[in-house]
């Protein structure tokens, strides 16, 4: 080829690349490689509200986003079964976090935002000992991700979404090339407020807290897909919604969180916050939801979590892997075992989140059930993330 023609072609291509980079809109399908955004970066948190006292929560409005607080998440987990008893666990979690010190954005561009949304999606296939993990990220602008109340609650990130259809009915949809969920959730017990009417203290300082409420018994029906195979399923789900600004206190690195749904219609939530020195925060706590829907708050002194077994991932990071939980004053004795060992979420922040089986006794009566456990701060500290 003539050398001059070749040079001309190279120049034309270079000019086209420059023009495209200048005049095209931002990419609407941001990479799920979350390391491109440093959400652990220090912000001026005094610009944001802190959880310092109980709120009068109103629904469905308070199911939506609270951008006046730094961090927020909506967390759905469940254990579902086919008619012949095949088990699947699932997690679909949406995270919102401010990425600038500005609480309000006053710019004309539809792409302007100070919010980033992330979502984690996982299905555990117990029969085949598989745990499938997906994630997405997007700016909270231009319709890519967000929440709204119109008149019911919805949250979405691209094509993953939770839509409230009626007062007690929610539709959950998420898909990738490998896995898919399409579930209808019906709330049977209403909202449960943890701590002091929803104010959940995590650290000693004022504001080391979050607002935290749950729906602990959601009847669930729908479809799970693994690759090309679809399964009609039913079971139970659990929803947590939590928001705050400086949730973890100094020297707190992570938490062990348990949601338990028992076949006697009781649910139990417990968490213990771990500190750098290996101690457990005295502000660890929990909630019991009784079959008739009354609740009881638990302090750290009310329960004991004993680790029975350790599991190591491929990088030799150790996670607790089975537990004995006792609540002596209520004569509750439970054994918690993962349905499969490897349910690690190796994403931007690395943690273990998985479906568990539960056996034991309550007041001397034999119970069983399923639940979910979340373990953070083992592979990396959660300081600066939440």
Q: Which of 283, 267, 279, 304 is nearest to 190 (CA)?
A: 267
H or E, element range at 350: strand 350-362
Residue 51 in contact with residue 211, Cβ under 8 Å? yes
Task: Report the length, in residues, of the chain.
Answer: 386
What gap in Å lies between CA 26 and CA 259, rounded to an integer? Answer: 40
In a domain, 328, yes or no: yes
Q: Helices marked H in 184-279 — which ranges?
A: none
Give the model's pLDDT for residue 80. Answer: 98
195 exposure class (CB count in 10 Å sphere: 0-12, 13-18, 19+): buried
Which domain CATH number covers 290?
A: 2.40.370.10
In a domain, 25, yes or no: no
What gap in Å lies between CA 314 and CA 8, rounded to an integer? Answer: 52
What gap in Å lies between CA 34 and CA 43, rounded to an integer? Answer: 18
Taking only the tens place, the pLDDT of each residue in 167-193 is: 999 999 999 999 999 999 999 999 999
269 pairs with which residues across the strands?
Answer: 259, 287
**Tokens of residue 286, six digits:** 């929990």
- 382: which DSSP letter? -
- CA 306 from chain centre, in angstroms, equals 24
| Residue 142, phi-psi category: left (phi > 0), alpha (psi -120 to 50), beta (remainder) | left
Strand 304-312, strand 332-338: pairing: unpaired
In a domain, 17, yes or no: no
In a domain, 339, yes or no: yes
In a domain, 198, yes or no: yes
SS3 14: helix
Taking only the tens place, the pLDDT of each residue in 228-274 is: 999 999 999 999 999 998 767 678 889 999 999 999 999 999 999 99
Give the model's pLDDT for residue 100. Answer: 78
Residue 235 in contact with residue 86, Cβ under 8 Å? no
Domain that holds residue 349: 31-375
Q: Say how many C-beta atoms besides its own lie within 10 A of residue 1's C-beta.
A: 6
In a domain, 22, yes or no: no
Residue the block writes with tokens 């669930």: 220
Residue 220 in contact with residue 184, Cβ under 8 Å? yes
In a domain, 115, yes or no: yes
Q: Which of 342, 338, 261, 258 is nearest to 298 (CA)?
A: 258
Question: Cis link prior to 60 (omega < 30° from 0)?
Answer: yes
In sign, the C-alpha dihedral spanning 347, 351, 353, 356 is: positive
Give the model's pLDDT for residue 306. Answer: 97
Residue 137 in contact with residue 118, Cβ under 8 Å? yes
In sign, the C-alpha dihedral spanning 290, 296, 299, 303 is: negative
In a domain, 12, yes or no: no
Give the model's pLDDT for residue 103. Answer: 59
What gap in Å lies between CA 94 and CA 73, rounded to an integer? Answer: 6
What gap in Å lies between CA 74 and CA 373, rounded to an integer? Answer: 16
SS3 5: helix
Give CA torsion, residues 258, 125, 352, 244, to 10 deg: -60
User: How many domains are there within the chain?
Assistant: 1
In sign, the C-alpha dihedral spanning 252, 76, 368, 356 is: negative
**Tokens of residue 322, six digits:** 């089975």
Q: Mark the ranges of the chain whose per-residue pLDDT is less than 50.
A: 1-40
């Amino acid at each position: 080829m003539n050398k001059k023609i070749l040079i001309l072609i190279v120049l034309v291509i270079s000019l086209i690349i420059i023009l495209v980079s200048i005049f095209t809109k931002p990419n609407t399908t941001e990479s799920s490689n979350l390391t491109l955004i440093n959400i652990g970066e220090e912000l001026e948190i005094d610009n944001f509200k802190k959880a310092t006292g109980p709120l009068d929560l109103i629904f469905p409005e308070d199911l939506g986003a609270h951008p006046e607080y730094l961090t927020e998440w909506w967390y759905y987990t469940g254990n579902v079964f086919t008619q012949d008893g095949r088990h699947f666990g699932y997690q679909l979690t949406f995270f919102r976090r401010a990425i600038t010190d500005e609480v309000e954005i006053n710019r004309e561009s539809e792409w302007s935002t100070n919010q980033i949304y992330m979502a984690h999606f996982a299905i555990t296939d117990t029969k085949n000992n598989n745990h499938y993990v997906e994630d997405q990220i997007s700016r909270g602008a231009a319709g890519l991700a967000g929440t709204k109340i119109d008149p019911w609650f919805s949250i979405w990130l691209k094509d993953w979404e939770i839509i409230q259809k009626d007062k007690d009915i929610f539709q959950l949809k998420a898909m990738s090339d490998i896995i898919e969920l399409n579930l209808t959730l019906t709330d049977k017990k209403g909202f449960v407020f943890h701590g002091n009417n929803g104010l959940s203290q995590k650290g000693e300082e004022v504001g080391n807290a979050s607002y935290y409420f749950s729906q602990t018994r959601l009847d669930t029906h729908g479809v799970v897909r693994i690759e090309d195979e679809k399964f009609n399923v039913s079971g139970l789900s659990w929803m947590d919604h939590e928001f705050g600004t400086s949730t973890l206190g100094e020297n707190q690195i992570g938490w062990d969180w348990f949601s338990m749904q028992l076949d006697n219609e009781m649910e139990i939530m417990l968490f213990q916050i771990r500190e750098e020195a290996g101690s457990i925060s005295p502000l660890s706590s929990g909630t019991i939801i009784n079959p008739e829907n009354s609740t009881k708050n638990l302090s750290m002194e009310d329960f004991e979590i004993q680790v029975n077994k350790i599991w190591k991932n491929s990088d030799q990071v150790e996670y607790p892997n089975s537990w004995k939980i006792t609540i002596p004053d209520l004569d509750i004795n439970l054994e918690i075992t993962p349905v499969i060992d490897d349910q690690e979420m190796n994403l931007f922040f690395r943690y273990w989140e998985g479906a568990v089986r539960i056996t034991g006794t309550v007041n001397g009566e034999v119970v069983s059930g399923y639940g979910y456990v979340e373990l953070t701060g083992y592979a990396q500290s959660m300081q600066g993330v939440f």
